[in-house]
Amino acid sequence: MFPSRPAARPARDTSRSAHDAFRDGPELDRRTVLLGGVAAGAVLLGGCTRSGQAAVSSPSPSVAWAPPAEPMTFPTGYTWGAATSAFQVEGSTTADGRGQSVWDTFCARSGRVKGGATGDPGADGYRRWQEDIALMSELGIGAYRFSVAWPRIQPTGSGPVNQLGVDWYRRFVDGLLEAGIRPAVTLFHWDLPQALQDAGGWAVRDTAERFADYASIVFDALADADADWFTINEPKTHAYVGHWYGSHAPGLRDPQVAVAAVHHQLLAHGLAVQRFREQGTSGRIGIALNLMPVYAQPGAEEPATRVDAAENRLFLDAVLTGQYPADAIGPLPGQVPADRDRFDALVLDGDLATISEPADLLAVQYYGVTGVAKDGSQVSIHPTSAASWQQLWPEGLYDLLVRLRDEYPAIPLMITENGIPDETPELTIDDPYRTAYLREHFQQAARAIADGVPLEAHYVWSLLDNFEWGEGYQQRWGIVAVDFDTQERTPKDSFGFYREVIAANAVAPS
């Protein structure tokens, strides 16, 4: 989950439930209600029944794991990658006929983004793409995950194609292919054309149909590229943080709208998969879900099961099994506080079959875990990074991957985002915490593969320092530092570490 992130560690607040706090004002978000706590006695929520009964599968997820003394190797052909998204890196927000997105609108509203930052300059990737591909080659990645900006392709979200926008992505993809780097294309990473928002945005079903049309245009333009395709990036974050907490674009604060946005984004995903098949596009397609192991504190199994439903199963069950869980939405602690009947009324006959249209892969975005207290609030059970919402627990990645293997139909898995911000907003080259984070997560990935998880790829978030949503340019996630005044790029120490891992196709114990 990626809400707008406060720069400081969240205040301790034991007096209110998470949902109360989310409603209180624009300064609050999910992290604000994280409580100081310990992992002792926490239980991992997994093995939950579809009817929402707690069925705790692991009594001791918090036991730290030690890597073997020898380097852990990855299968031949394992894909190492790095990721970015259009609004975060491209800049040039008015170039070549690009239309306005909800993020341009949100940034223009006073006080919504730190420092009054906007999508310009980003990392100036629209103009510096050749330099960036050279950096990728130096790193040695086999694949690069980027997103296409819908407002560059259809400036108002429907209707005529903006050929200049299409041409830019064609040039970029050709550049990647010439460098021997597989394109990994995300179709939607939160930059909805503003005109569609004005017509109701993800609260309305029509936006899913418009997305399918847009996806068709991009499939046509890149049909021969043999890429990996991702329909929607983190529908949960876009729905909850943008439509419930109000700290991302479009800045709404209505949980009923948020669950409508969940359904319509998932429907958009399914419709796009259908178009992909109909058009015979080469490559593979799936959705990118940010997932988070949920650990119940003693006595909190029931609310934690509901948090697990809201954070994970609402998305996983729909996409992989064609049903919505019974316990994600409603008035109980841990649920998204929306009316379930009104949500169900949006789900028309055939929608769940569309949403669960067989995909080729599941893209998993992993940053950390959460604990849940008896009142259903999410609590800190592990240290956080400079992003106060991010509870660091590499073993959670293993728990998550094993759960996917055990509880869902078999499907190839990719980790399409995984990373940590710098400790300060300053431009930083020396980043030992990021090297440690990446090393430990690579180890957990190797451990999962050794235990039979069908994991095929690992993408680091992010290739470049960039626009970090509500944090503006004050939180840097890149393995390459970007000076936002000059746009000079400088690889950080973690870049060198990652290059060695890629070259060896193995991760050493330390």
How far is CA 371 from each of CA 5, 258, 300, rounded to the nearest angstrom?
A: 18, 23, 9
> Is residue 428 close enough to count as binding ligand IFM by CB under 6 A?
no
Tell me how far, at minimum, the Cβ of 367 lies from ligand IFM, in Å.
Answer: 6
> Is residue 169 close enough to count as binding ligand IFM by CB under 6 A?
no
The interface with ligand IFM within residues 362-381 (CB under 6 A) comprises: 365
Q: What is the rounded end-to-end Cα distance, in angstroms, of the chain?
A: 29
Tokens of 173: 């993809």
Q: Which is nearer to ligand IFM, 72 or 460 (CB)?
A: 460
Q: Which is nearer to ligand IFM, 228 or 417 (CB)?
A: 417
Number of residues that bind ligand IFM (CB under 6 A): 9
Residue 283 φ/ψ region, left for φ over 0, alpha for ψ in the -120 to 50 degree band, beta for the rest: left
Q: Count CA within 13 A, CB hemisphere, residue 499.
A: 14
> Is residue 85 close enough to count as binding ligand IFM by CB under 6 A?
yes
Q: Which is nearer to ligand IFM, 306 or 441 (CB)?
A: 441
Tell me how far, at minimum, the Cβ of 477 lies from ligand IFM, in Å.
Answer: 6
Tell how strand 370-372 and strand 378-379 pair up. antiparallel
> Is residue 186 close enough to count as binding ligand IFM by CB under 6 A?
no
> Is residue 90 close enough to count as binding ligand IFM by CB under 6 A?
no
Tell me how far, at minimum, the Cβ of 240 lies from ligand IFM, in Å.
Answer: 13
Q: Cβ(95)–Cβ(149) under 8 Å?
A: no
Q: Which is nearer to ligand IFM, 62 or 365 (CB)?
A: 365
- Taking the CA atoms of residue 40, residue 41, residue 46 and residue 49 in that order, the dihedral angle to the nearest 10 degrees is -160
From candidates 477, 495, 497, 498, binder to ligand IFM by CB under 6 A: 477
CA distance 373 to 307: 10
Question: In DSSP terms, which residues pair with 379 in a beta bridge?
Answer: 371
Q: Cβ(340)–Cβ(325) under 8 Å?
A: no
Report CA torsion sign: 381, 440, 240, 122: positive
Q: Count CA within 13 A, CB hemisphere, residue 338.
A: 26
List all residues 6 or more positions away from 382 whose beta carbon is below 8 Å from its beta carbon: 39, 368, 369, 371, 391, 392, 393
Tell me which residues are annotated as active site. Answer: 234, 417
Tell me how far, at minimum, the Cβ of 169 lies from ligand IFM, in Å.
Answer: 18
Residue, CB closest to ligand IFM: 2
The interface with ligand IFM within residues 202-261 (CB under 6 A) comprises: 234
Query: For 101, which DSSP code?
Result: B
List all residues 6 or more positions away from 486 whose beta carbon is below 8 Å from its beta carbon: none
CA distance 467 to 275: 31
From candidates 126, 129, 461, 484, binder to ligand IFM by CB under 6 A: 461
Tell me how far, at minimum, the Cβ of 228 lies from ligand IFM, in Å.
Answer: 17
Q: Which is nearer to ligand IFM, 86 or 166 (CB)?
A: 86
Tell me how far, at minimum, the Cβ of 468 lies from ligand IFM, in Å.
Answer: 5
Q: Which is nearer to ligand IFM, 231 or 365 (CB)?
A: 365
From candidates 29, 228, 308, 417, binder to ligand IFM by CB under 6 A: 417
Tell me how far, at minimum, the Cβ of 389 lies from ligand IFM, in Å.
Answer: 8
> Is residue 124 close enough to count as binding ligand IFM by CB under 6 A?
no
> Is residue 2 close enough to count as binding ligand IFM by CB under 6 A?
yes
List all residues 6 or more positions away from 222 whose beta carbon is below 8 Å from its beta carbon: 169, 170, 173, 183, 185, 281
Tell me how far, at minimum, the Cβ of 54 lies from ligand IFM, in Å.
Answer: 29
CA distance 306 to 316: 14
Q: Which is nearer to ligand IFM, 189 or 489 (CB)?
A: 189
From candidates 468, 489, 494, 502, binder to ligand IFM by CB under 6 A: 468
Q: Which is nearer to ligand IFM, 62 or 88 (CB)?
A: 88
Q: Give residues in contact with ligand IFM (CB under 6 A).
A: 2, 85, 88, 234, 365, 417, 461, 468, 477
